[in-house]
Structure formats: structure tokens, C-alpha cells
Amino acid sequence: MKLSYSFLIIAALSLLLFIYLPWWIIAPISLIVCYYAQLSWAKSFLIAFIAVYLVWLGSILFFDKGSIRTIVGALFSMSAQITPYFAAALGGLLAGLFGAAGSLLKPKA
């Protein structure tokens, strides 16, 4: 139950706040949600990674008009077809690392 709530909260907050705030807002969202969910670090990493990966991939595929494909494709010298998946994986990796850090911040009893 904690897994699904954590996933939904991270995905919803990332989607809503990503519109108005900088892209790195996913880091504190993942850290705070995973801190309060008190999951293991591996589960926190996976939940945050998958939630942000899906949100970013959906926003790139449906709402982006080619700017991410152009910028990230030129930066990493890759084709425009795999660029959205790579960019979403980078965002998911950042969220996953901060999610794991949030779960490791909990006090040990």
C-alpha cells in the first residue's frame, strides 16, 4: 500500500510542480516522499525512478514540440527516436537517487 501511494504522490507532484517550477523539483519531492514512506532504499529508488520516468516520458512524447529531442540529441549525439527515453531515464535516475537518500535518512531504531 505504501508503494502505490508513494508512486502516485511522486508522479502527481512531479507532474503538477514541473509545470511551474524548474525540472530539478523532482529531487526534493522524491526525497521527502520516500523519507515519510519509510520504505527500504531499493524500493524507494525503484518507486521514484519509475514514477518520474513515466511522467517525463509522457510529457516529452505528448507535450514537447521537439526541443528536448533537439537539445539532448545534440548534447549526447544520439538520434531523435531514443532521446526521449534517455532524457526520461536521466530524470528517473536523479529521482531514484534522491528517493534512496530519503529512505536512508530515517533514524535507525
The pLDDT, as a whole number, for residue 27 is 95
Whether 60 and 68 have beta carbons less than 8 Å apart is answered as yes
Whole-model pTM: value is: 0.90
In this predicted structure, the answer to whether residue 102 has a pLDDT above a threshold of 70 is yes
Band (pLDDT 50/70/90 cuts) for residue 70 is confident
CB 47 within 8 A of CB 6: yes
Distance CA 1, CA 104 (A): 20
Q: What is residue 105's predicted lDDT score, i.e. its pLDDT?
A: 92
In whole angstroms, give the CA distance from residue 73 to residue 93.
18
Hey, how many other C-beta atoms are within 10 angstroms of the C-beta on 8? Answer: 13
Rounded mean pLDDT, 31-58: 95
The percent of residues above 90 in pLDDT, for the chain, comes to 67
Per-domain residue ranges of the chain:
2-104
Q: Rounded distance, CA 20 to CA 22, Å?
A: 7
